[in-house]
């Protein structure tokens, strides 16, 4: 069973504030899970307005956030990356862990 709760909610919140993350959730949307069966944890993130986020920062953030959930194989996406045909399903299947 994939993890759904962070090991330390307080440390996760501190990390999000330091990295300019405005909102963080896990999700278990079946559409996404079928396409990525090897992924144990699906993360959805929104950064503060004005944050510059490239692929390298996203990858590093994905690895660091996964460590808060027991260093599992994670997949990190931002809200704008969600495709229209499964956006509603993913949003409905989220469990918010941080919101500024």
Domain ranges of the chain: 9-99
CATH 3.40.50.2300 assigned to 9-99: no
The yes-or-no verdict on residue 18 having pLDDT over 90 is yes
Nearest to 81 by CA among 45, 49, 50: 45
pLDDT of residue 2: 53
pLDDT of residue 1: 46
Question: Which tens digit of pLDDT belongs to each residue from 76-85?
Answer: 988 888 877 7
Phi, psi (degrees; rounded to nearest 5) at 21: -90, 125
- Cα(8)–Cα(93) distance, rounded to whole angstroms? 22
Give me the mean pLDDT over the 42-71 stretch. 91
- Does pTM top 0.85 for this prediction? no
């Amino acid at each position: 069973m994939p993890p759904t709760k962070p090991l330390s909610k307080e440390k996760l919140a501190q990390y999000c504030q330091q990295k300019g993350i405005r909102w963080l959730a896990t999700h278990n949307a079946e559409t996404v899970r079928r396409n990525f069966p090897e992924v144990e944890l699906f993360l959805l993130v929104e950064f503060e307005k004005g944050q510059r986020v490239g692929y390298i920062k996203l990858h590093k953030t994905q690895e660091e956030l996964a460590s808060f959930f027991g260093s599992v194989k994670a997949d990190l996406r931002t809200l704008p990356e969600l495709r229209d045909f499964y956006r509603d399903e993913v949003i409905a299947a989220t469990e918010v862990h941080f919101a500024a």
